[in-house]
Amino acid sequence: MDRHELDAATWIKSSHSDANGGNCLEIAPDSPATVPVRDSKNPDGPVLLFPRPAWSAFLSSLR
């Protein structure tokens, strides 16, 4: 994904996020090969791109 695609992506954050802007990640789930992840408090900052299988494994380990 290039920066233009990241800027145009639909970002979502957890429904568990508090209204005070605490620590929170946002993801752009519509990318087919990767899951972009960014800091919701710094949307113009760096974006980490995780391969979709690695992201799925990470989520499974949290459950």
pLDDT digits over 4-39, tens only? 888 889 999 877 776 666 678 899 999 889 999 999
CA distance 42 to 39: 5
Residue 1 near residue 33, CB atoms below 8 Å = no
* Per-residue pLDDT at 21: 62
35-58 per-position pLDDT tens digit: 999 998 898 999 999 999 999 999
pLDDT band at 63 (very low <50, low <70, confident <90, very high): confident
How is residue 11 annotated by DSSP? Answer: P
What is the value of pTM for the model shown? 0.81
| Cα angle value 10/5/22 (rounded, 5°) | 45
Tally of domains within the chain:
1
* Per-residue pLDDT at 11: 94
Find the helix or strand (DSSP H, E) in which 53 lies. Answer: helix 52-62
* Structural domain boundaries enclosing 54: 3-62
C-alpha closest to that of 2 among 41, 49, 51, 50: 49
